[in-house]
Amino acid sequence: MPANAVPTRTPGRASGGGLTRRDLLRALTAVAAGTAVGGSAFGFLYERHQIEITRTSLSVAGLPDGLAGLRVGFLTDLHRSSTVPAELIRSAVQLLMQEKPDLIVLGGDYVTHGQRRFVPLVAEDLAPLSAPHGVFAVLGNHDDDRDMPAALANRGIEVLRDARTRLTLRGETLDILGIRYWTRKLSDLTRLARGAAPATMFVAHTPARLTEAAQLGLPMMLSGHTHGGQVVLPGLGAVAARHFPIIAGHGSLENTSAFVSRGVGTVYVPVRLRCPPEVAILTLRPADVS
C-alpha cells in the first residue's frame, strides 16, 4: 500500500498474494449454494438492490476558489448482465439525476465480460443522464474498445479514451483526463498530463493508478473497480479487494486526493454483503479548507 493512502470501510491491509476477488466470490457461491438463509441469502435477495447515496466532499490541492462547491456525480461498475437487471441501473440513474450535479462522471465496467448483448441496453439505461457541464466516461476492464464507447457516444456521453478535455466553469479551468483500463505506460500518462490545468480530474477505472497520479502531480482521482470488496466479512474485511491502495471511499497519496466508489452492480456472483451499491455525489473543496 502506498505510504499515505488511506483505505476506508474495511480494516483489511494491502498485501501481495492472498485471495483474489474471484477466489472469494467462488467460495461465497459455494456457501450460498449450501444454505437458504444467512448472509449470502441476504446479500442476494436484499442488499445488492439497496442503493445508497454517498454525499461527501473531496479536498483538492490547489483548487481555484471559483470551483469550490462544484458537485460531481459519479457512477461506476454497473455490470449490466443477466444477473444485474435494468431496474437497478435505472434506479441509480434516477437517484443521481435527483441530486442535480454540475457534471457527471462514469467510471467504467458498464457490462460484464462475455455479455456484450447488454451494451446497447445499458447505454439506453444511461441515456437520461445530463448535467450542465456534461457527462464523461472512461472504459473499464470488462468493456470492449469499440461497441461500448460507440453506444455511449450515441447517447451524448463523451468517452475519454486516453484523452483530456477542458471545461471553463465559473471563470476557471477544469481539465478531465480519462484513460482506458489497458493504458499502462507511464510515458502515455505523462503525455496526456502535459500542459494540464492545475485543477485536473484524473479518471481511471482502477485505484491502482494512484501512484502514477501522484507522480504526475494530478490533484484528484476518481476510480471504481473494487466494488468496495463486494463482500465484506466480519473480522476479515474486504478480502477480495485488500491488495488495492484504496478499497472504497477517500484516500490520498502525496498531493493527490482520490475517491473510490463501491459501484452499482455485482460481478462473478450476484451478492453484496455489508457493502451496498452506491451513487456518489462529490463536492469539490480546496484542500486547505475544512
Domain ranges of the chain: 21-286
| Rounded Cα–Cα distance for residues 62 and 264 (Å) | 31
| Rounded Cα–Cα distance for residues 59 and 39 (Å) | 36
Tens of pLDDT along the chain (290 residues) come to 443 343 333 333 333 334 455 555 554 544 444 433 445 555 455 578 899 999 999 999 999 999 999 999 999 999 999 999 999 999 999 999 999 999 999 999 999 998 999 999 999 999 999 999 999 999 999 999 999 999 999 999 999 999 999 999 999 999 999 999 999 889 999 999 999 999 999 999 999 999 999 999 999 999 999 999 998 888 888 888 889 999 999 999 999 999 999 999 999 889 898 899 999 999 999 997 44
| Rounded Cα–Cα distance for residues 210 and 120 (Å) | 31
Give the residue carrying C-alpha cell 441469502. 41
Rounded alpha-carbon distances, angstroms, from residue 66 to 58, 62, 167: 15, 11, 13
CATH code at 21-286: 3.60.21.10
Closest CA to 218 of 17, 41, 62, 37: 62
> Which residues, in sequence order, are CB contacts of 270 under 8 Å at separation 6+?
44, 48, 83, 84
Cell numbers found for residue 61: 490541492
pTM for the complete prediction?
A: 0.86
Q: Which residues pair with 137 in a beta bridge?
A: 106, 159
